[in-house]
Amino acid sequence: MQSIAFRQNVFRRTFQLTSTRLYTAAANDSLHNRLKADQKTYMRGRTQPDLTVVKSILSDLIYLNKSPTPPATPDEGILTILQRSIKKRQESISQYQSAGRQDLVDQEQKELEVLNRYMPTQMSDDEIRDEVQQIVQNIGAASIKDLGKVMKAWAIDSSKADKKKVSEMVKSVLDAK
């Protein structure tokens, strides 16, 4: 004869195995999941430079989510972090090149390549120019004084085109008029 405790334990185990978890919200976004999966892969493969970059992105994301104004979506936060990190790496590369430290330049370029893997595809200069010309025609911008209006009308996400590059393109289009 089996004890009551044994029967209850069997019931608990079978219930735990068949129970499913229902979520009211979607699980983490795809970019976050990709970063976590890559972190595991890099840990198993012991690829240190890639692992360091991915860990720093995830760490920065945690700090960003705990900030007083967290991003609306996790992917938006990750893209913000990626853009900041890319700018930092590019500045470091230029400083290291002026100092003649090729070893550090190589290291920063490897990290920059890892960061660029997670960025969405960037718009080409021709695509940016076409979009800017269309906005200038729609708004009726005539001079460089209308730069702010054109930039305000720019509706494309900053992750697909760098705002600095867009601003330079707007200036060149408005100067040509």
Q: Which domain holds residue 71?
A: 30-118
Q: Give 7's pLDDT tier (boundaries 50, 70, 90).
A: low
Position 21 scores a pLDDT of 46
User: Does the pLDDT of residue 19 top 50, yes or no?
Assistant: no
The domain that holds 142 is classified in CATH as: 1.10.10
Percent of the chain past pLDDT 90, that is, above it, reads 31
Same domain, 46 and 78: yes
pLDDT tens, 73-102? 777 788 888 989 999 999 999 999 999 999
User: Does the pLDDT of residue 108 top 80, yes or no?
Assistant: yes
Question: What's at 158, amino acid-wise?
Answer: S
Contacts of 154 (CB under 8 A, 6+ apart): 131, 132, 135, 166
> Which helix (H) or strand (E) is 116 found in, with range?
helix 102-118
Same domain, 65 and 140: no
Q: Are the C-beta atoms of residues 31 and 118 closer than 8 Å to each other? A: yes
pTM of the model: 0.67
Instruction: From 118, 142, 168, give the residue that closes a domain.
Output: 118
Distances (CA, A) of 60 to 43, 66, 83: 19, 10, 12
User: Does the pLDDT of residue 131 top 80, yes or no?
Assistant: yes
Instruction: From 118, 142, 162, give the residue that closes a domain.
Output: 118
Half-sphere exposure of 92 (CA within 13 A, CB side): 17
Q: Per the domain annotation, does 8 fall within a domain?
A: no
Position 136 scores a pLDDT of 86
